[in-house]
Amino acid sequence: MTVEPPPIPRAAGSLPLFGHALQLVPDPLPFIASLRRRYGPLVEITLQPRTRTLVVQDPALIRAMLTDPIAPTLDKGRFFDEMRDLLGDSVVTVAGEEHRRKRLQLQPAFARPEVARYVDIMRAETEAAVDGWQPGQRIDVRETMIHLSLDMLTKTVFSDRLDGDAFSQLRQNLAVVMDSIGLRIMLPDWVKRLPLPLNFRFNRARDAVRATISGAVAELRTSDHDAGDMLALLLTVQDEKTGLPLTDQQICSEILTLALAGTENSATVLAWVIYELARRPDVEAHVLAELNEVLGDRPVAFGDIARLPYLERVIKEVLRLNHTGWLVTRRTLTETKLGQWTLPAGTDLAYCQHALHRDPALFPEPLRFDPDRWLDGTQELPQGAFLPWGAGKHRCIGDRFAMAELITALATILRRVRFALAPGQTVRPVARATVRPGKMQMTVQARRTSAGHE
C-alpha cells in the first residue's frame, strides 16, 4: 500500500497578480522566517503568477535538493535566471553538462597550491588598504571591504591584468544591478516589462557593466596571453562542445561571475566580523590574543590559515548568523522526487540559508553571536542544517580562496586598527540580491599594542 504524502501548504496572503510580492518587497527576511515558524518541510509561495515556488525548509530535503541523486534533473531556477540577465551563461547560471565543463575550466585557479601562492598577495593588498585609513576617519565598512576583496581577487586570480580603473568604474554599476536583482526576484515578471524608472536603471547599469568588461577583454586579447593565470586559461581554452576558443562574450560572463561571487560574499563576511568584534570586546580580545600567540610580530602566512581556530570559529559564526544567501533556487526539469513528494517538471524550489541558520530548533538562542557554539562536540547538527558554501555540484568553488582571504585580511587589519561603532549604533541585515549589512559607518582607530604604543 502506498502512503500519500501530506499536501503541501500554500503560504497565506498571496494576491492574484502580485503573488507574495507585497509581503516580500518591504523586507523578505521576516516573511521567509515566518514560513519556517508556521509551515512544515515544504511550503508554496508565489513569486510569479501560475508558477509554483516551493520553499524547502527541512535540512534533509534542502540537502537532497542540492546533491545527487536528484540534482541532475534540476536547473538553477529563478534567482539564477535574474543573474543570467547580467552574467549570461556562466558557471554560476548554468546546470548539467554545460556547468560541468565550465566548472572544470575554472577549477585550477582555486586549487590548494594556487591559494597558497595568493596569501602573500592578499596580505600585501590588505596592508596597502590599511595604510590608506586615517585614525578618526569614518568609513563605510562594507563598501571598503568590497574594494579590498576586489583588489585581492584581481591581483591573485587575474594576476593584476585587468584594468584597475575599469574595475572601480564597475563597482557603482554593479551595486545598482545587484540591488535591482534583489527586487526583481520578488516581483512578477510582468512588472519588469513596464516602463518604470526601476527597469530603466537596471538596464542602463547592466549594459554599462557588460560594456566595461567587454572593453577589458578586448584589450587583453591584444596583450600577452601567457601569464599562467585565470585569464590566460580563459583566453586559450577550447570549448569542449564546439572545439573553438571561448568567445569574448563567454569570457566576459566568467570574469563578471567571479568579480561578483568573489566580492559580494567575502566583503559582507569581513564587514560583519569587524562589526561583531566592535560590539564584543571579549571576543575581540580572544582573537587578538590568539593572533599574538600564533604570529608574534610576524605577518600572517599561508601556513597560519589552519592555526587560528578561534578566528575560524568567529568567521563560522558570522557565516551562520548573517549568511548572505536568502533565496537560492533550483527548478525541476523533469518529474522529480523530493523526500516523499513527487514534483512535476517546472516546479521552482528555493531555500534560505539566512533563515535556516537562525532556526532555534537547530541553533539554540540563534540571534546570540557565540563563536564557542562551534567548539568540538558542543552542538550536534543534522546534515543540511549549516550550509555556508552550499552542497553538491554547485558548492562554492571559492571556499578555500575565501577562507584564506578572510583570515589573511582579518589577521592583518585587526592587529593594526580597530573599528568603533557610535554609542547605541546597531546595523541590520538587508536582503538585496544577497543579504548584506545596512549602512555600516564605523570610525577607524589606531590599535594600541600591548605595550601601550599606537
Of residues 35, 177, 235, 269, which one binds ligand HEM by CB under 6 A? 269
Q: Tell me the window of 32-40, 216-224, 241-249, 394-402 that interacts with ligand HEM (CB under 6 A).
A: 394-402
Q: How far is the CB of 394 from ligand HEM (least distance, A)?
A: 3
- 427: Cβ–Cβ under 8 A, 6 or more apart, which residues? 275, 437, 438, 439, 440
Residue 381 · residue 389 · CB < 8 Å: no
| Nearest to ligand HEM of 119, 444 (CB atom) | 119
| Nearest to ligand HEM of 18, 229 (CB atom) | 229
The two beta strands, 348-351 and 53-56, are: parallel
Residue 130 as a binder of ligand HEM (CB under 6 A): the answer is: no
The Cα–Cα gap between 400 and 7 comes to 41
| Nearest to ligand HEM of 57, 257 (CB atom) | 257
The Cα–Cα gap between 165 and 307 comes to 36
Total site size for ligand HEM, rule CB under 6 A: 23
Residue 136 · residue 443 · CB < 8 Å: yes
Neighbours of 93 (CB within 10 A): 23
Residue 251 as a binder of ligand HEM (CB under 6 A): the answer is: no
- 223: Cβ–Cβ under 8 A, 6 or more apart, which residues? 161
Residue 437 as a binder of ligand HEM (CB under 6 A): the answer is: no
Grid cell, residue 189, equals: 515578471
Burial (0-12, 13-18, 19+ Cβ within 10 Å), 61:
buried
DSSP state of 447: P
Q: Tell me the window of 195-203, 215-223, 393-401, 443-451 that interacts with ligand HEM (CB under 6 A).
A: 393-401
Interface mask toward ligand HEM for 31-60; x: CB under 6 A: ------------------------------
Q: How far is the CB of 445 from ligand HEM (least distance, A)?
A: 26
| Nearest to ligand HEM of 269, 444 (CB atom) | 269
Of residues 389, 425, 441, 447, which one binds ligand HEM by CB under 6 A? 389
Q: Which amino acid is at 130?
A: V
The 417-420 sheet, strands edge to edge: 138-140, 441-446, 417-420
| Nearest to ligand HEM of 265, 412 (CB atom) | 265
Q: Phi, psi (5° rounding) for residue 172?
A: -65, -45
Residue 96 as a binder of ligand HEM (CB under 6 A): the answer is: no
Burial (0-12, 13-18, 19+ Cβ within 10 Å), 105:
buried
Residue 300 · residue 411 · CB < 8 Å: yes
Residue 341 · residue 8 · CB < 8 Å: yes
Residue 397 as a binder of ligand HEM (CB under 6 A): the answer is: yes
Residue 156 as a binder of ligand HEM (CB under 6 A): the answer is: no
The Cα–Cα gap between 357 and 247 comes to 40
| Nearest to ligand HEM of 187, 397 (CB atom) | 397
Of residues 32, 401, 411, 436, which one binds ligand HEM by CB under 6 A? 401
Of residues 235, 258, 300, 321, which one binds ligand HEM by CB under 6 A? 258
The Cα–Cα gap between 378 and 313 comes to 12
Residue 349 · residue 77 · CB < 8 Å: yes
Residue 394 as a binder of ligand HEM (CB under 6 A): the answer is: yes
User: Could you say which residues in the range 331-360 bind ligand HEM, by CB under 6 A?
Assistant: none
Residue 103 as a binder of ligand HEM (CB under 6 A): the answer is: yes
Q: How far is the CB of 80 from ligand HEM (least distance, A)?
A: 7
Residue 384 as a binder of ligand HEM (CB under 6 A): the answer is: no
Q: How far is the CB of 323 from ligand HEM (least distance, A)?
A: 7
In the bound complex, which residue of the shown chain has the CB atom lying closest to ligand HEM?
Answer: 398
| Nearest to ligand HEM of 114, 239 (CB atom) | 114
Residue 213 as a binder of ligand HEM (CB under 6 A): the answer is: no
Phi-psi region of 377 (alpha: psi -120 to 50; beta: other; left: phi over 0): left
Q: What is the DSSP string of 215-268?
A: HHHHHHHHS---SSSHHHHHHH-B-TTT-SBPPHHHHHHHHHHHHHHHHHHHHH
What residues line the site for ligand HEM (CB under 6 A)?
91-92, 103, 153, 257-258, 261-262, 265-266, 269, 324-325, 328, 388-390, 394, 396-398, 401-402
